[in-house]
Structure 1
Amino acid sequence: MFSKLTKGLLAGSVAASALMVAGTASADGMVALLLPENVNPRWEQQDAAAFLATMAEIAPDVQVEVFNANNDTAMQQRQAEQALTQGAQVLVVIPIDGESSAIIADTAAEEGVPTIAYDRMINSQNTAFWIQADMFATGAAQAQHVVDNTASGDTLVLLRGSPTDPNAGVIADGQMSVLQPLFDSGERVLGYANWTPGWDPAIARRSMDQALTQLNNGVQGVVSSNDGNAGAAIASMEEQGMAGTVPVSGLDCTVQAQQLMLLGLQTQCGWRPLHEMAAAAAHVTVRLLNGADYSDLATEVVQNGVGADVAFVPVDSYSAVGAEGVAYVIENDPSITREMVCQGEAAATEFCQ
């Protein structure tokens, strides 16, 4: 299922403890990894951990500075400026906002520093690379799962992502590629839809509460754009005695999401090999530091929101469903173990026995 690029990038597993490995200052340079927030645990526990581990392996003398902007676009811009002042030679940025983050890439370019857009596109003429899976296909898979587990005339709720995250719009477009024809024909009914600023589960929870109130609990499926939204929807439905009776999609396959899947509360999550995405970012980063050719890594070119051609490093994805999906993720994701998933209520499930 993995691309030729990602198959060749990693030879071993990545431990979460790699977050403690940040490299040491040296003449070989410094790079900065700019995280968007800590609401979603993946950024620090998976993406940053894998990036640091790979950098420690392939370029141990390169200093890596990690910043977290806590969903504050102005703070992320200041962190980028701080990194450049400290001498960063490459910026790896997960933007909070694909539009406003353009100033980061533009400012870096003025100093001759390339910017890699990781996971989320940066809409700048100066974005050097983009590393991501096919988020349109991911959204389509989420919607198709919910459609496959509902009936004609059923009412669906759509809990979309953050309106400033360019991925959220692509995911939503993928979902609607499946759902719009069904809404138009009446095969499914759009009962409620809302965006989730900052991917904040508290906001998603309020949205789901509103949906259940407005629809008098008449909801048969939840197309959730990520696991945080899914968990919020499930918590809302638990109060109404509905959890476990309604298919709920997600994205990222966090440990909590996999536990919910084993309990039959969340039914699907889109999984991407985040360790491979982060490793790809590290390999591109080192090529840029060394002034080496990178055409074998960036195998495609895409256009971003301002029409700039951006070298694209594609990564595949997988739609995990039920216990079989959990087993697949555990087998293929080095940051998640069976022991981590089989905790709490999930420990009593057949999967964990």
Structure 2
Amino acid sequence: MTRLSTHLIGAALFGLALTGATASFAAPSGTVAFLMPDHASTRYEQHDFPGFKAEMAKLCAGCKVLYQNANADASTQQQQFNSVIAQGAKVIVLDPVDSTAAASLVHMAQSQGIKVIAYDRPVPSTPADYYVSFDNEEIGKSIAQSLVQHLKDAGVATGKGGVLEVNGSPTDAAAGLIKKGIHEGLEGSGYKTLSEYDTPEWAPPKAQQWVSGQITRFGAQIVGVVAANDGTAGGTIAAFKAAGVNPVPPVTGNDATLAGLQLIVAGDQYNTILKPSEIVAGAAARVAVGFLSGEKPKAETTLFNTPSQLFKPAVITAKNIKAEVLDKGFTSAKDLCAGRYADGCKKLGIAN
């Protein structure tokens, strides 16, 4: 059994535990809000919200779901937060633009008896009612360790140079956890960190601009890049391409976006993290319905003084992309192998 299979089973069991716990209550109803942080990552529109909406429809046909995306603006998210409260939301699932600023939102909601589920990104300075996410620290550690092992397997001497570190947004607590994990994954590897950067708003163009400057600064000393998600990885790769660097040093990623997976097929990105957002979205929906039913959902751990459910990530490289992504139906060969990616797919035994 693969790690991912184990985690999917764990997600299913978690769902059964919550739905079983709420079975003795009358059919729940109420308004639930799902507030996401930005459009820079395509996952929120393509996976998180559809997954949440589908699970809510199954568990609570009488519930109303409100959806908003703050487009990386904390002030906009505050306005949206106020708006859903005015519309009668009893549970708010919040993926904060600014994890520090979100503390006041949590306090405001809780003072009115409204439950707040921190989603993907925690709110470190004040306890939410629940936190649901993939294990972000483990994500950072996994992608860094995977890169280190790849460099060693390729015979890249530790004295040859070092790595760049392209982190996520400085206002995102989840990015801070990923960053911490990256540091743990690189520690003791022998490869020094040449420089690192916290990417405002996770914006790929800002990552690209910074990496371009580091290429000018360090040149061939850069033996790899630990990028915290597929967007910053894409910006990183674009910087190397624009500088005429061929081949591009191995670059990590996270989120298993279609663009990230295609860069792996093309040989430009080394790894990503498969963390189907629908798993976390479904868990958040089950917790929300539990709150509406008057139930206190169980938690496997506590993070930032908040009851938490953390799912484990799976590292994807060219070696297992077919078995873990294609064969398990997370994307189709038709989409993955479109256009210029067809040849790369053939080399990996992926038939379009």
| 1:9 CA drift (Å) | 5.8
Q: Which amino acid counterpart does residue 35 of structure 1 have in structure 2?
A: M
Aligned equivalent of 1:163: 170
Provide structure 2 residue ranges, at least 5 long, that are not aligned to the other structure: 1-5, 17-27
Q: Does 1:347 align with 2:342?
A: yes
- 1:173 partnered with 2:180: yes
Opposite residue 318 of structure 1, the aligned amino acid is A
Rounded Cα–Cα distance in structure 2 between residues aligned with 1:245 and 1:316 = 29
Amino acid corresponding to residue 129 of structure 1 in structure 2: Y
Distance 1:332 1:6, change over 3 A: farther
Q: Which residue of 1 aligns with 2:239?
A: 236
Tell me the CA shift for residue 62 of structure 1: 0.7
- The farther-off stretch of 190-199 and 89-98 is 190-199
Match of 2:11 among 6, 9, 12: 6
- 2-structure distance, mates of 1:233, 1:189: 18
Give the distance between the partners of 2:108 and 2:328, measured in 1 at CA: 38
Contact kept? 1:106, 1:124, Cα under 8 Å: no
Q: Which residue of 2 is the match for residue 38 of structure 1?
A: 39
Residue 48, structure 1, aligned to residue 44, structure 2: no
Deviation at 1:333, TM superposition (A): 5.9
Using the TM superposition, give the Cα deviation of residue 192 of structure 1 relative to its aligned residue in structure 2, in angstroms.
Answer: 2.2
Contact 2:233 2:269 in 1 (8 A): yes
- Asked if 2 retains the 8 angstrom alpha-carbon contact of 1:3 and 1:314, the reply is no
Q: How much does 1:123 deviate?
A: 2.9
1:227–1:251 Cα contact (<8 Å) kept? yes
Q: Which amino acid aligns with 1:156?
A: V
Pairwise CA distance, 1:31: 0.7
Q: How does 1:196-207 map to 2 (within 5 A)?
A: 196-207=199-210
Match of 2:114 in 1: 113
Cα distance, 1:243 vs. partner?
4.8
Q: Distance in 2 between matches of 1:6 and 1:331?
A: 20
The CA deviation string for residues 26-64 of structure 1, in whole angstroms up to 9 with x for no partner, is: x92111000100110001111111001111111122110
| TM-score, structure 1 as length reference | 0.87
2:188 matches 1:190: no
The one-letter code of the counterpart of 1:271 is: L
- Counterpart AA for 1:44: E
Is contact 1:119–1:132 with CA below 8 Å preserved after alignment? yes
Describe the SS at the equivalent of 1:181: coil
- Distance in 1, matches of 2:246 and 2:57, equals 43
Q: For 1:312, give the aligned amino acid.
A: S
Point out where structure 1 has 5 or more consecutive residues left out of the alignment.
12-26
User: CA deviation digits over 1:252-303, x for unaligned, max 9?
Assistant: 01001111101111010012131111100000000111112422xx22223x
Alignment of 1:249-288 (within 5 A): 249-288=252-291
Change (3 A) 1:266 1:273: same
* Distance change in 2, residues 1:279/1:168 (3 Å): same
Residue 310 of structure 1 corresponds to: 306
TM-score by length of 2: 0.87
Could you list the per-position Cα deviations for residues 227-260 of structure 1 after superposition, in whole angstroms to 9, with x for gaps in the alignment?
A: 0011111111112333544111000010011111
CA change 1:243–1:158 in 2 (3 A) is farther
Provide closer, same or farther for how the CA distance between residues 228 and 138 of structure 1 changes in structure 2, counting only shifts above 3 A.
Answer: same
Q: Distance in 2 between matches of 1:8 and 1:275?
A: 15
Conserved? CA contact 2:32–2:63, under 8 Å: yes
Code of the aligned partner of 1:269: T
Q: Please give the alpha-carbon distance, in whole angstroms, between the structure 2 residues aligned to 1:166 and 1:196.
A: 13
CA RMSD of aligned residues (A): 2.0
User: How far apart in 2 are the matches of 1:90 and 1:149?
Assistant: 44
Paired residues, number = 327
Paired with 2:197 and 2:45, the residues of 1 have a C-alpha distance of: 27
Letter of the aligned partner of 1:144 in structure 2?
A: Q
* Greater shift in the superposed pair: 169-178 or 229-238: 169-178
**Please, which of 184, 207, 212 is the counterpart of residue 209 of structure 1?**
212
The residue type paired with residue 180 of structure 2 is: D
Alpha-carbon distance in structure 1 between the residues aligned to 2:129 and 2:7: 23
Instruction: Map residues 329-344 of structure 1 onto 2, 5 A cutoff.
Output: 329-332=325-328, 334=330, 336-344=331-339
Q: Which moved more, 1:115-124 or 1:239-248?
A: 239-248
Tell me which residue corresponds to 1:14: none
Q: 2:43 & 2:141 partners in 1: Cα distance? A: 22
Q: Report the residue type matching 2:320 in the other structure.
A: E
